[in-house]
Amino acid sequence: MGLTGISNPLEQALIEKKAVVAETFAGKGLCLPRDPEFLENLDRALVFSDFIYTSVLKEPELFLDLVTSGDLDTSYAENRYGAQLDARLSGVSEISDMKRVLLQTRLREMVRIAWQDLTGKAGLEETLKDLSNLADACIDRAFLFLHDTLCSVYETPLDSLGEKQRIIVLGMGKLGAGELNFSSDVDLIFVCPDTPAPAGRGRGITNEEFFTKLCRRFLRVFDTAMDETTLFRVDTRLRPFGTSGPLVMSCSAMEDYYQCQGREWERYALIKARPVAGDIAGGKALLRALNPFIYRRYFDYGTFESFREMKKRIAFQTEDSRLKNNVKLGTGGIREVEFFCQIFQLVRGGVEPEFQEPNLVRVLSLLAARSCIDETVRAELEKGYCFLRRVEHRLQEHADLQTHDLPETSEERLRLALSMGFQGWEPFLQALDGHRTRIHTHFSQLLVTEESQDRELDQLRYLWAHLNNPQAEEVVLTVSGFDNPEQVVKLLKRVEEHPNTKKLTSDGTRRLDQLIPMLVKKAGETKAPETVLSRCIDLVISIERRICYLSLLLENPGVLSTLAALAEKSHWIVSFLASHPALLEELIDPSTLYTPPGKEALAEDLALRMAHIPHDDFEFQLEELCLFKQVNVLRVAAADISQNYPLMKVSDHLTWIAETILHCVIAISWDQTMVKYGTPVGKKTYEAACCGFAAIAYGKLGGIELGYNSDLDLVFLHTGRSGTTTSGSRAIEKKRFYTLLGQRIVSALTLHTPAGTLYQADMRLRPSGQAGAIVSQVDAFADYAENQAWIWEHQAIIRARPVAGDEDLQNRFSHIRRRVLTRFRNPESLKRAVGEMRERVRREQFKSLKHLFDLKQEPGGIVDIEFLVQFLVLKHGHDHPALVQWTDNVRLLDTLAGEGLLSQSHADTLKTAFLAFRRSLHRQDLQEETRRVPLEPFAAMKQEVFAIYDEMMTA
C-alpha cells in the first residue's frame, strides 16, 4: 500500500521521523532490512502511529527482534501469548520484575498488532482477537504469579477436599466478547470460591480475605505505570453493588445477588461475560448458574420497557454536542449497534441458545437467519460496525490513547483519512456519515411503539377506565360496531374483577390498560366481534400474570390482528395459546405461521433445537420437545382454518410431527437408559437402524389420520434374548433393558413439564393388553399375533405400521403383519365376530340424541366405515395381498375398489363420507365442541353409508 496523496506536512514529518529512526539504530549499531515492502510498511506505520514511532525509538532492540523473528507479520495462535509469558516469567520471583516482563511483552505485542492493522496484514477480526488474547494472558499470568507470592505469606486456600482454589476473573464488555479495542480499559469482576480457607502458620485468613488481598495487589500492578508505560487500565464498576460493593464476592453470594437484586442493565452487561483468568472451569460453571438470570426460558418481551428506557438514555446522551464527533457514543456510533444486537439476545437467548453469542457480527448474521431483521439491515449494520471499529483502532493506534473522538486539526484528519484508505478528509467523512446515518436509522426504529391518536382508541381507553360508569358503555356503539354493548362491558368487567388482575403489579396494570382498548378495537374489526373478544379475554386472563406476554402483544401490533383472525375461526387455537403462551411468538411472522414444514424440515429443525441442550438435561430436552410440538401443531391448525388446508394434508403434518418427536424421544430415552445400564447391542452410541428396538404405530397414528387431540397408540418390540448389557455401571438382562427403555419412552411422552405434555400414550393394543409386557420380544409377538390374538386385534393390526427404530425389526414386523392379514378366514365366522364387536362398541359409546349426529359412533358414521373396511381386508387379504400395503382408510377403499371387492360407486360414497365426517370432526375439535353435529347436513350421507354397511355385513 502506497502513500499517494500524502500532504506536505505529513510528508515532512515522515522524513524527519525516518531520519531520527535511522540515527537511533545507527547509534546502537543496529540495521533495519532494506526490503522495499518492509520500508513501505514502515513509512505507513511511522506516519499513522506516533505510538509505533516512539516505541521504536525507546526500544529499538525490541522492534528489531519483532522484525528478525518474523513475528511482525505473523498471525498468532490463541495460546501464543500465554506461552511467551510463561517462558519470560520463568525464574522471576519479584513482583516488580514480573510487572516489567508484562510491560515489555505488552509493548512488543501492541507494536506488532498496530503494525499489522495499519499495514493491512491483519483484518478487524484478527486484530480484535489478538488484543483480547494478549489481555487475557497478561491478566491470567499476573494472577497466577501474585497468587503464588501471597501463598508464601498466608496459607494456601483449599476446598473441603484439600484441593487448591483459584480466583475466578470474569472479563466483561469488549474483553469478555473477545473484541477488545486498541487502548481499551479491561472490565473485570472478581469472584472467589465459597469454602473458607483453613488457618495456618498463625496467619491463616478466610478465602474472601485472601482473594481480596490478591485482587488489590493485582490492581496495584495494573493501575500504576512504570517508565511512563501503561499496562491495562482496569474497571471493576460492573461488579455487584458497583463501587460500593465488595471488590471480591463469593460464587454463592453473587448468585444470590443476581437472583434477588439483579437489574436489567446487569443482564445486558453479563451477555458478554467470559472467564479470562484464574479458575476458568469454575468461571464457566458460575456463568451457567447465572444463565437463567441473563437469559429467560421464554421470549422475554417483558423487558422491552426497561430497554426502551435504556435506549432513551442512549439517545439523550447522543444529543450532547460534546459527543458529536465520538464514533463510540455519538449518534450512529458503535454503542447503538451493540444495543441493537443485545436486546434481541436478551429477548430470545433463553429459548434459542444460539443467541447466547458474544460476537456481535455473528449475532447479526443469526438475526438475519432467524428473520428478526432483513438482509439489508444486517449488511448495513455489519459494514457500519466494522468501519467504526477500524476508525476506533486508527484513532487509538496513533498515540495509544483511549479516545473515540474524531480529530480537529487538518493534519490529524488527513492522517486518519489516509489510514482508512481514503485520499482526503471529505470522502472519508462522507463514508463515515453514511454509515452513522444508516446505523442510527435502524437504532431509531428499534422498540418504536405506535402511539395511536385515533378517536376510537381514545374512547375505548375511556370505556376501560370507567367501566362502572353506566354512560361509558355507550362508547362501544360509536367505536367498534358491537351489537351488544352490555355484553362488551360484561366481558371487560370479567377481566377487571378477575383475581389475576387484582394481583398485577403496577407495571402489569399499566400494560393491561394499554392492551385492553387495542384488543377491543381489533375484535370489533372482525365479523364476530363478541365471540372474538370473549375468546381473547379468556386468553388475556390466563396470561396476564406473566406480563412479558402482555408486552409481546403490545410490542407487536400485527400479533393482535393475527390473534383476532384466529380467534374468529377457532376456540381451540385460543385455548391452545392460553395453555402455551410462549407460542404467541409464532404469531409475529405470518410467513411461517401459515406454512407447516414438511417431514425433513421438521427433523432438521428439531435436531437444531436439541443440539444446544446438554445431553444430561432430561427436563430441558422434554421442554424443548413440547415447545417444538406446540409450535408445529399451531402452524398446522392456523393453516387448516385459514387456508382450507386439505384434510389429508392436516393429518399428514400432525403425523409427521408425532413421528419426529417419537424418534427423538426414543434416542433420548435410550441414552438415559444406557448411561445407567450399558448397552444391549455392543454400541456405545445410539444408532436407530440397529438398536434391536422398534416402535409400531396403531390406530390414527398408524393410519396416518392423526387429529389435534389424538393419543398415540403404540406397541414396542425388541430382539433381545439371553445375555446382559455391557459398558454400563450396572449390567442387566437385555430383556430388562428394553422393558426399562419402553417405560422411559412412555414416561417421556406423558410426563408433565413446565412447557406441557407431549402425548397421551395408549399401550393397550400390545399382546395381552394391560396385562402384557410393555415391550414384546418379536418372536413372542409373532406367535401371539398369529395363534392367540382375537379378531378385533387383527382388525387393529390393519392400521399398524412401524415408525421408528431398528430397520430389520421394522421389516420383521411388516412380514408378521402380512402373514396375519393374508391368512384364510371363514367369511361367516369373521362377519359374525366383526359385527358383534361393532355392536358392542356402539352400545358402550353411543347415545342417540334427536336432531344430532354422532360423527363417530352413530350408525352410518366413521366407525361403521372403519369396521366395514377392516372386515373386507380380513376377508379378502388371503386372495388379494394388495390390501396389505396400506394402513389408511382412504387408500384401502381405493384398493378394495381396484381389486373388484367393492363397487366404485360404493367406494366413492364411503370415501366421500369418511372425509366429510373427519373434516367436520376436525372443525369440532378446533371449536372445542363435541363430536355431535346437527343431523340435517349429513342425513343423506349417513343413510347411504349405513345402507352399504348393512348390505355387506348382513348379506
Beta strand 186-192 pairing with 234-235: parallel
**Residue 933 host element (H or E):** strand 932-934
Please give the residue that has the higher pLDDT: either 605 or 924.
Answer: 605
Residue 31 contacts residue 74 (beta carbons within 8 Å): no
- Least confident segment among 4-8, 111-115, 140-144, 489-493: 4-8
Structure confidence by residue, pLDDT tens digits, 518-554: 888 888 888 888 888 888 888 888 888 777 788 888 8
Q: How confident is the prediction for the chain on average, in pLDDT? A: 86
Which cell is 481 given? 360496531
pLDDT-based confidence at residue 230 (cuts at 50, 70, 90) = low
- Whole-model pTM over 0.85: no
Q: Is the pLDDT of residue 294 over 90?
A: no
Which cell is 244 given? 460500593
Beta strand 248-250 pairing with 186-192: parallel
Q: Is the pLDDT of residue 391 over 90?
A: yes
Residue 302 pLDDT: 59
Residue 553 pLDDT: 84
Which percentage of the chain shows pLDDT scores above 70? 92
Structure confidence by residue, pLDDT tens digits, 569-609: 888 888 888 888 877 878 877 778 788 899 999 999 999 88
Residue 1 pLDDT: 41
pLDDT-based confidence at residue 480 (cuts at 50, 70, 90) = low
| DSSP helix/strand/coil, 114 | helix
CB atoms within 10 A of CB 467: 15
pLDDT-based confidence at residue 226 (cuts at 50, 70, 90) = very low
Residue 381 pLDDT: 95
pLDDT-based confidence at residue 198 (cuts at 50, 70, 90) = very low
Residue 401 contacts residue 49 (beta carbons within 8 Å): no
Closest alpha carbon to 887 in 654, 733, 698: 698
Stretch 482-487: mean pLDDT, rounded?
Answer: 74
Structure confidence by residue, pLDDT tens digits, 393-422: 999 999 988 899 999 999 999 999 999 999
pLDDT-based confidence at residue 146 (cuts at 50, 70, 90) = very high
Cell 395511536 -> residue: 452
Q: How far apart are CA 247 and CA 212, in angstroms?
A: 7
Cell 363417530 -> residue: 856
Q: What pairs with residue 716 in β-bridges?
A: 695, 775
Stretch 920-946: mean pLDDT, rounded?
Answer: 83
- 587 φ, ψ to 5°? -75, -10
Q: Is the pLDDT of residue 910 over 80?
A: yes
Please give the residue that has the higher pLDDT: either 585 or 945.
Answer: 945
Please give the residue that has the higher pLDDT: either 27 or 455.
Answer: 27
Residue 867 contacts residue 838 (beta carbons within 8 Å): yes
- Least confident segment among 87-91, 135-139, 224-228: 224-228
pLDDT-based confidence at residue 200 (cuts at 50, 70, 90) = very low
Stretch 315-330: mean pLDDT, rounded?
Answer: 79
| CA terminus-to-terminus distance, the chain | 97
Range with the largest mean pLDDT of 35-49, 522-536, 542-556, 844-858: 35-49
Q: How far apart are CA 839 and CA 153, in angstroms?
A: 91
- 351 φ, ψ to 5°? -90, -35
